[in-house]
């Protein structure tokens, strides 16, 4: 058989490290090994009943056909109302397009704007897919390391130093995956002062974790702090994390009409319109009872507080208290240089992660995958009992190091 002819762009990207880690944990579990899987960033709650009921009602009414490419009128009206009500942002319905998840939204936005060699500034730690999506669209990811000492957040000085004549985008994710770091209004305003000096730089805000925030306050939005950036900003969001709707695959983009029209053209020739039933469910999520959001965030906060305390009691690792999202970014620098019981030296965070998996069956993801080592990310989107078991196993593994 001849060698498959694959496009060069595919050779520039790699499979998702978090997906690989989850697959490896599943493989070990199939082999009969006891695994505590703390990899997957997916709410462990069921989608709220009123959202599921809206989907059933839509099916019973025959709403099972193609929709408008940009999304149904109902769901776009719900998004317009949500942005106004929760974020203080005013968009018209023709400035909204619905996508098959927020990941699709980000990729599609890059696809319509990036030319070969264009640069995208990505603060690190970052969600693992950002750089590879840029590479797949022939762009150049420019990662800027944001250390724990700065709260894992981009500073104005770092932003200024990173901008070049080829800079096309700045991508901001707040609260962040993997660190949970959240920007304040003052921090946004300081970044905006830099962006004001560079009018050709566009901004993408990935707001998918906006409601999973632990201080009881609403997450500030860049466009609240700097409304002058509206025409060069694309707002990305969805329902996956907030409403436990990962499998429904609904995201959206809000932005100026020219970009939305271009996205409509691209998606009409690629993914097509989104699932009609999922759109009905999304509208119900935005328009309906929001008590699930408050209740689930309270559970995440309890898990965060409990697990961070347990981790910080383990010699050699430490964990900063995240402001939002449902991940912990655990500093494991104190373990480097240690030897495992079979004599292997832990030289980097990938060694630590593999040691935890192979010795005690704890599955986490190395910080290297997120652009900042030596750390590992663990998800708290699981029960306290499972988190407790994970921490006990980590402590046991660390205690065996010499």
User: Would you give per-residue pLDDT tens digits along the chain (402 residues)?
Assistant: 566 788 888 878 877 776 777 777 778 888 888 999 999 899 999 999 999 999 999 999 999 999 999 999 999 999 999 999 999 999 999 999 999 999 999 999 999 999 999 999 999 999 999 999 999 999 999 999 999 999 999 999 999 999 999 999 999 999 999 999 999 999 999 999 999 999 999 999 999 999 999 999 999 999 999 999 999 999 999 999 999 999 999 999 999 999 999 999 999 999 999 999 999 999 999 999 999 999 999 999 999 999 999 999 999 999 999 999 999 999 999 999 999 999 999 999 999 999 999 999 999 999 999 999 999 999 999 999 999 999 999 999 999 999
Residue 40 shares a structural domain with residue 56: no
Residue 329 shares a structural domain with residue 257: no
Residue 148 shares a structural domain with residue 186: yes
pLDDT of residue 20: 73
CB-count exposure of residue 42 (10 Å: 0-12, 13-18, 19+): middle
* Domain-embedded: residue 94: yes
* Domain-embedded: residue 192: yes
* Domain-embedded: residue 231: yes
* Domain-embedded: residue 374: yes
> What is the value of pTM for the model shown?
0.95
Residue 351 shares a structural domain with residue 215: no
Tell me the CATH number at 127: 3.40.640.10
Pairing of the two strands 233-238 and 251-254: antiparallel
Residue 304 shares a structural domain with residue 235: no
Residue 225 shares a structural domain with residue 330: no
3-class secondary-structure state, position 285:
helix
Q: What length is written for the chain?
A: 402
- Which of the 8 DSSP states describes residue 263? H
CB-count exposure of residue 377 (10 Å: 0-12, 13-18, 19+): buried
* Domain-embedded: residue 2: no
Instruction: Give me the sheet containing 327-331, strands edge to edge.
Output: 318-319, 327-331, 375-379, 365-366
* Domain-embedded: residue 253: yes
Tell me the CATH number at 26: 3.90.1150.10
Residue 268 shares a structural domain with residue 310: no
Residue 377 has, within 13 A of its CA and on its CB side, a CA count of: 31
Residue 130 shares a structural domain with residue 263: yes
Decide which of 258, 287, 316 is a domain's last residue.
287
pLDDT of residue 160: 98
Residue 226 shares a structural domain with residue 97: yes
Residue 222 shares a structural domain with residue 335: no
Decide which of 262, 287, 312 is a domain's last residue.
287
Residues near 333 by Cβ (< 8 Å), separated by ≥ 6? 374
pLDDT of residue 12: 81
Q: How many independent structural domains does the chain possess? A: 2
pLDDT of residue 1: 52
Residue 216 shares a structural domain with residue 235: yes
* Domain-embedded: residue 1: no
**Is residue 191 within 8 Å of 158, Cβ to Cβ?**
no
* Domain-embedded: residue 3: no
Decide which of 237, 256, 287 is a domain's last residue.
287
Residue 232 shares a structural domain with residue 313: no
- Within 10 angstroms of residue 396's Cβ, the number of other Cβ atoms is 14
Domain membership of residue 205 as a residue range: 50-287
């Amino acid at each position: 058989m001849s060698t498959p002819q694959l496009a060069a762009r595919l050779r520039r990207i790699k499979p998702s490290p978090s997906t690989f880690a989850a697959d490896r944990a599943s493989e070990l579990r199939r082999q009969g090994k006891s695994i505590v899987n703390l990899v997957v960033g997916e709410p462990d709650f069921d989608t709220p009943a009123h959202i599921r009921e809206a989907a059933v009602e839509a099916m019973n009414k025959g709403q099972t056909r193609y929709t408008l490419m940009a999304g149904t009128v109902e769901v776009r009206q719900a998004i317009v109302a949500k942005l106004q009500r929760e974020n203080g942002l005013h968009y018209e319905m023709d400035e909204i397009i619905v996508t098959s998840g927020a990941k699709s939204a980000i990729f599609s936005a890059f696809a319509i704007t990036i030319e070969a060699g264009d640069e995208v500034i990505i603060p690190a730690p970052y969600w693992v897919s950002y750089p590879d999506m840029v590479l797949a669209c022939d762009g150049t990811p420019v990662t800027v390391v944001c250390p724990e000492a700065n709260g894992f957040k981009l500073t104005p000085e770092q932003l200024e130093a990173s901008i070049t004549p080829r800079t096309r985008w700045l991508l901001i994710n707040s609260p962040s995956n993997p660190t949970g770091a959240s920007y304040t209004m003052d921090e946004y305003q300081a970044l905006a002062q830099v962006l004001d000096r560079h009018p050709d730089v566009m901004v993408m805000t990935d707001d998918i974790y906006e409601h999973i925030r632990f201080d009881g306050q609403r997450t500030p939005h860049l466009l609240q702090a700097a409304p002058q950036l509206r025409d060069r900003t694309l707002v990305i969001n969805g329902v996956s994390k907030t409403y436990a709707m990962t499998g429904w695959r609904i995201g959206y983009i809000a932005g100026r009409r020219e970009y939305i029209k271009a996205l409509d053209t691209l998606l009409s020739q690629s993914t097509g319109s989104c699932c009609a039933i999922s759109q009905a469910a999304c509208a119900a999520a935005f328009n309906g009872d929001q008590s699930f959001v408050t209740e689930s965030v309270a559970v995440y906060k309890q898990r965060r507080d409990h697990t961070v305390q347990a981790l910080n009691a383990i010699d050699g690792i430490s964990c900063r208290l995240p402001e939002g999202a449902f991940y912990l970014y655990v500093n494991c620098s104190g373990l480097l240089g240690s030897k495992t019981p079979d004599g292997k030296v832990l030289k980097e965070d990938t060694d630590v992660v593999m040691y935890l998996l192979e010795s005690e069956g704890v599955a986490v993801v190395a910080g290297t995958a997120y652009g900042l080592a030596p750390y590992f990310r663990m998800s708290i989107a699981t029960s306290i009992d499972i988190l407790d078991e994970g921490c006990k196993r980590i402590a046991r593994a660390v205690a065996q190091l010499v």
